[in-house]
């Protein structure tokens, strides 16, 4: 992961390197530490230092406090990225759920409807015999 911040103030550079601001200012005047100042640095403008330039001047030494803060910043950045990915995946899941529900409705429409047929009453053996019995009067 890239190191944050990309440009350091003099105070941040001192905190990172464990050197005093006075020492860093002296290094800047001596040319040992390069600063970024856009087109031209005006009086009162803050010194801005690239971490790689600070590392070159200090031999790459960083204070333990700075290293811990950097690790925390990296972890925070990862958390933000993972939260964003989770939100994106949740959106995809919701979209798929809607698609599934829509497909279920379409399948239901395509399924043949069950027809209910009224059962015919077929004469049973005993009812046929009764009709055929002589002497039996049929109601009129």
pLDDT attached to residue 61: 76
- Number of domains into which the chain is organized: 2
Classify residue 24 as exposed, middle or buried by CB count within 10 Å of its CB (0-12, 13-18, 19+): buried
pTM equals 0.46
Sign of the CA dihedral running 90, 91, 95, 98: positive
Averaged over successive runs of 10 residues, the pLDDT of the chain (140 residues) comes to 74 90 92 79 80 86 80 91 96 95 92 72 61 58
In angstroms, the CA 4 to CA 17 distance is 15
Q: Would you state the pLDDT for residue 3?
A: 60
Q: What CATH number did the domain enclosing 49 receive?
A: 1.10.1660.10
Residues 8 and 54 grouped into a single domain: yes
In a domain, 135, yes or no: no
Q: Does one domain contain both 50 and 1?
A: yes
pLDDT of residue 99: 95
**Host domain of residue 97:** 64-109
Do 68 and 58 fall into the same domain?
A: no
């Amino acid at each position: 992961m890239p190191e944050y911040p990309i440009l350091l103030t003099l105070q941040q550079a001192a905190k990172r390197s464990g050197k005093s601001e006075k020492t860093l200012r002296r290094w800047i005047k001596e040319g040992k530490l390069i600063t970024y100042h856009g087109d031209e640095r005006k009086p009162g403008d803050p010194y801005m230092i690239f971490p790689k330039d600070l590392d070159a001047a200090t031999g790459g030494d960083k204070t333990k406090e700075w290293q811990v803060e950097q690790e925390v910043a990296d972890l925070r950045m990862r958390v933000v990225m993972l939260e964003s990915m989770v939100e994106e995946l949740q959106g995809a899941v919701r979209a798929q759920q809607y698609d599934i529900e829509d497909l279920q409705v379409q399948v239901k429409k395509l399924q043949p409807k069950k027809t209910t047929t009224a059962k015919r009453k077929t004469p049973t053996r005993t009812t046929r015999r009764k009709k055929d019995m002589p002497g039996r009067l049929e109601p009129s």
